[in-house]
Amino acid sequence: MNYIDEKVAPKREERLGACIEFGGAACELKRKFGGGCLKNSSRAFGQGSICQLLPGTAILNSIPDSVVIVHGSIGCGGGGHSHNANIRWRQTLGGSQNPRGAFWISTNLNERDVVSGGEEKLEEAILEADRRYRPASIIVVSSCVPGIIGDDIDSVAARLQPQVKGKILPVHCEGFKTKIMATAYDAVYHSIARNLLETEEKEGAEIFPDELKEAQKKLRQSKLVNLLNVSSMTPLDEKELTRLLNALGLEVKIYPCFAHPQDMKYATQAALSISTCPTHDDYLVKYLEERFGVPYILRHMPIGINNTNLWLRDIAKIFGLEEAAERIIQRETAELGEALSLIRNNLAGKKAMLSAGEVRTFATAVWLQELGLDIVAVRPYHYDEFGEIDLEKLSNVNPGLQVNVATVHPFETVNLIERNRPDIYLGHNSDNIWAAKQGIPVLPIYGGPNTYVGYVGAFDIARRINRILKNPSFNRKLKGNTRQPYYESWYKEEPYQFLTEGSVQG
Ligand code: SF4
């Protein structure tokens, strides 16, 4: 079922029954999620989370020839300052001598606007963005305030569309509406699907007139595939996956990050949509199949050798390229086997703890398990059906593995770290900072000029952990010279005591 005819994408709590509060064993999470017991779980106390506007703007700010208008109070969208570093870097890699970064502005709603409405300011901002930059798209991101006071950003967009050059994209990212920040991926895809996939020529005509069908057939024969990236792949990740897909004889186009708004429509004509992270992409790939007949692959995140093998085999099967895939797998795994042999000895038995989005956390943990590390706890930001495959692999090895479903909440992080004292912590900065202060060596689980996916990524993750573990003295000294943010007494308390009954193992 698709929701594209609705103005707003549903939140993930409703669409997928996704859960965001759990603490206990992996086998218990499987049982309780399957039984629907986690739908009404909650935290009596929370401490820091991530609003969906952050991942939403991370994607939208990357779209070239566009202006992002954050419709809200001045602080919303401030993450754009950090997105800009990445965007400038990508523009430099793309050959720009003068990387401009993203163009984003705020409607800066204040107390008066809360009373009298913010639509007037939004109109001004859209016209000003068009006058100054003449972009191909003007992206209006709605935050909490307009969501609460009832500004109708879709009506404003429809009213002003004839007056501006670019396509206006309303995106509903009101932070208060969902606790699951992954809803942002649906919100962004929702607006892209409503505004950028249907070409002008098709309006009022059949969905697939003969010429379009013919063009689509040719593109399919040329083995053109959509590779989806919602800011969860570094440029080196994109390079690695493109290398593997090219080796299968496939042509690759990457959406939506860094794809021009006018090029998004070509996603409807590809032979296949390939997800790099199932929890990111189901909303769009299912719509592309339902509306445009583009099949999709949405099962594995290609992190680690086995998951990359499975990902590649799924893709090859669609095109009848199984033999070619096996040749690639054999060659790559043989080379990796040799390169990893020394590293495996060093990593065997080391304890690791991980935190990030659900599929990245689980897939990376599976790879570390294959490398011989002992996974003591995983902290996915949320949990839904897309995490089931890799959670199964982890719980097959260790049914009692601690799983703490939490978007950040550092008080639970530090408690679990102190109980388990891992040798290494892999997470985003919002978690790694706590582990580092507790004397644990950390590795960013994503980002920077590194490769995380495919065979190159499998080696890179192992190589970097090996290097970090050889000399953990920086973090040991950091602990000795840093004031710890929590009292010792907290570490003796139950980490999950603020989760409501029904979500705690017991
Ligand atoms: S929670 Fe609401 S007010 Fe806060 S940053 Fe997100 S959208 Fe803005």
Q: What is the 75 CA–ligand 1 centroid distance (Å)?
A: 8
In whole angstroms, give the CA distance from residue 64 to residue 61.
8
Query: φ and ψ at 142, to 5 degrees?
Result: -90, 130
Question: Is residue 476 within 8 Å of residue 439, measured between CB atoms?
Answer: yes
Q: What is the 68 CA–ligand 1 centroid distance (Å)?
A: 16
Of 70, 76, 172, 179, which is best to mutate to test ligand 1, by the most ligand atoms within 8 angstroms of its C-beta?
Answer: 76
Measuring from atom 5 of ligand 1, which residue has the nearest CA? 76
Of 54, 176, 180, 181, which is best to mutate to test ligand 1, by the most ligand atoms within 8 angstroms of its C-beta?
Answer: 176
Atom of ligand 1 nearest to the CA of 144: 2
| CB within 8 Å of 338: residues ≥ 6 apart | none
Q: Please choose, from the candidates 239, 243, 275, 271, the residue with its C-alpha nearest in 3D space to the C-alpha of residue 256.
A: 275
451 by Cβ neighbours in 10 Å (0-12 / 13-18 / 19+) ranks as buried
Q: Is 257 helix (H, G, I), strand (E, B) or coil?
A: coil
Output the CA torsion sign for 473, 474, 475, 476: positive
Measuring from atom 8 of ligand 1, which residue has the nearest CA? 76
Task: Point out which residues pair with 172 in neighbouring strands.
Answer: 142
Measuring from atom 3 of ligand 1, which residue has the nearest CA? 144
Confirm or reject: Cβ of 53 under 6 Å from ligand 1: yes
Domains plus CATH for the chain? 51-201 (3.40.50.1980), 207-298 (3.40.50.1980), 340-492 (3.40.50.1980)
Query: φ and ψ at 448, to 5 degrees?
Result: 70, -170
Lookup: tokens for 479: 């602990």
Confirm or reject: Cβ of 171 under 6 Å from ligand 1: no
Q: What dihedral do alpha carbons 46, 51, 55, 61 form, nearest 10°? A: -150
Tell me, what's the pLDDT at 227? 98
Tell me, what's the pLDDT at 494? 96
Q: Is 345 helix (H, G, I), strand (E, B) or coil?
A: helix
pLDDT tens-digit series, residues 168-184 = 999 999 999 999 999 99
Tell me, what's the pLDDT at 122? 98
Question: Is residue 435 within 8 Å of residue 442, measured between CB atoms?
Answer: yes
Output the CA torsion sign for 195, 196, 201, 202: negative
Q: What dihedral do alpha carbons 192, 195, 200, 205 form, nearest 10°? A: 100
Question: Is residue 425 within 8 Å of residue 354, measured between CB atoms?
Answer: yes
Lookup: tokens for 97: 């001598």
Q: What is the 500 CA–ligand 1 centroid distance (Å)?
A: 25
Q: Is 445 helix (H, G, I), strand (E, B) or coil?
A: coil
Tell me, what's the pLDDT at 204? 44
Amino acid letter, 408: V
Q: What is the 52 CA–ligand 1 centroid distance (Å)?
A: 8
Confirm or reject: Cβ of 76 under 6 Å from ligand 1: yes
Confirm or reject: Cβ of 72 under 6 Å from ligand 1: yes
Query: Which residue do the tokens 């996915």 mark?
Result: 380
Produce one character per residue of 101-130: b if its CB has 16 or more CB atoms within 10 Å, e if not: bbbbbbbbbeeebeeebbbebbbebbeebb
Measured CA to CA in angstroms, residue 370 lies from 170, 340, 373, 431 at distances of 44, 11, 7, 24
Q: Is 172 helix (H, G, I), strand (E, B) or coil?
A: strand
pLDDT tens-digit series, residues 197-247 = 986 654 444 555 677 667 666 666 679 999 999 998 999 999 999 999 999
Element holding 10 (H helix, E strand): none
Query: Which residue do the tokens 């992002």 mark?
Result: 68
In angstroms, what is the C-alpha Rg of the chain? 23
Atom of ligand 1 nearest to the CA of 51: 6
Confirm or reject: Cβ of 24 under 6 Å from ligand 1: no
In whole angstroms, give the CA distance from residue 420 to residue 367.
20
> What pTM, to 2 d.p., does this model score?
0.94
> Which regions of the chain are under pLDDT 50?
202-205, 503-506
Chain centroid to CA 267: 19
- Omega within 30 of 0 (cis) for the link into 399: no
Q: Please choose, from the candidates 465, 257, 487, 260, the residue with its C-alpha nearest in 3D space to the C-alpha of residue 368.
A: 465
Task: Point out which residues pair with 141 in neighbouring strands.
Answer: 70, 171
The DSSP 8-state label assigned to residue 100 in this structure reads -
Pairing mode, strands 251-256 and 224-229: parallel
End-to-end alpha carbon distance in the chain: 36
